[in-house]
Homo-oligomer: A and B are copies of this chain.
Amino acid sequence: MNFFDRLHDRIRTVDSVVSVGLDPDPSRIPKHLREYDLPRWAFNRRIIDATHEHAAAYKPNAAFYEDPDGWRALEETIAYAHGKDVPVLLDAKRADIGNTTRQYAQLLDRADAITVNPYMGRDSLQPFLSNEAAGVFVLCRTSNPGGADIQDLELDSGEPVYERVAALADLWNENDNVGLVVGATKPEELEDLREQVPDLPFLVPGIGAQGGDAEAAVEFGLADGVGLVNSSRGIIFAGENDGEEFANASGQAAKRLQRRLNQYRD
């Protein structure tokens, strides 16, 4: 089954487009969990227990798992999320040449969807794009300050680089499995991109800690109701000062974001 069809079902089931970013910064994991064999997995499990009823997807960022125990924690986390029927989008931003990117594409043996970086072009993404069951979110316009350095450069055709990336991603969408990553800090960019590629679901990060615009994220991020609006630290560290009860605040934060976003959904 196509990833976006599965995501659509999940969004309807939980009435939520919230993506919960599972970025377990080791220095912010509650002290009582640090003695566990895999603290990141112990942390994520509690976050999933507290938030899954409000989660359309979980989005672990690969950066927080890049060591031997980290990959074990990530595997456990993905399996546990699947046990709760929540799809998992691995925020890995990968891309590489031929035989190498085929290795990276094996990450989709575990996760349901992945983020990829377009700088190396189509063949660097082909093994992801060819996986008909997986979702592939192409970085388009990121909301960090340096996002402008390359993405906003004006081409001789008059369009900025990120609009060309959106057009290319639309071309690469032969299997109805491509989405875009578009930040919410400039609502007018979201609006223009939605008009340009009406069929591509967006992953909109930057709600919460990054202060993006929730209304624009929902109004323009969804394609036929499908898309994701992510919050990471704003949810998972909401109970940072609550000791062993930390996950309760995460559940509440996920629910609050769900309601806030649902105001703008049709």
Which A residues are within 8 Å of any B CB, using their own CB? 23, 25, 61, 63-64, 66-72, 75, 93-101, 103-104, 106-107, 117-125, 139, 142-151, 153-156, 158, 161, 164-165, 168, 205, 210, 233
Q: Which residues of B contact A124 (CB under 8 A)?
A: 142, 144, 146
Asked whether, in the complex, the Cβ of A68 is within 8 Å of the Cβ of B75, the reply is yes
Q: Which residues of B contact A205 (CB under 8 A)?
A: 97
- Identical copies of this chain, number: 2
Asked whether, in the complex, the Cβ of A153 is within 8 Å of the Cβ of B149, the reply is no
**Which residue of chain B has its CB nearest to the CB of A102?**
B63
**Which residue of chain B has its CB nearest to the CB of A209?**
B99
- The distance in angstroms between the C-alpha atoms of A122 and B120, with both chains bound, is 18
- The distance in angstroms between the C-alpha atoms of A203 and B21, with both chains bound, is 34
Nearest CB on B from A79, distance (A)? 14
13 interchain pairs (CB within 8 A)? A63-B101, A63-B104, A66-B103, A66-B107, A68-B75, A93-B95, A97-B210, A117-B120, A120-B150, A121-B149, A124-B142, A150-B165, A155-B156
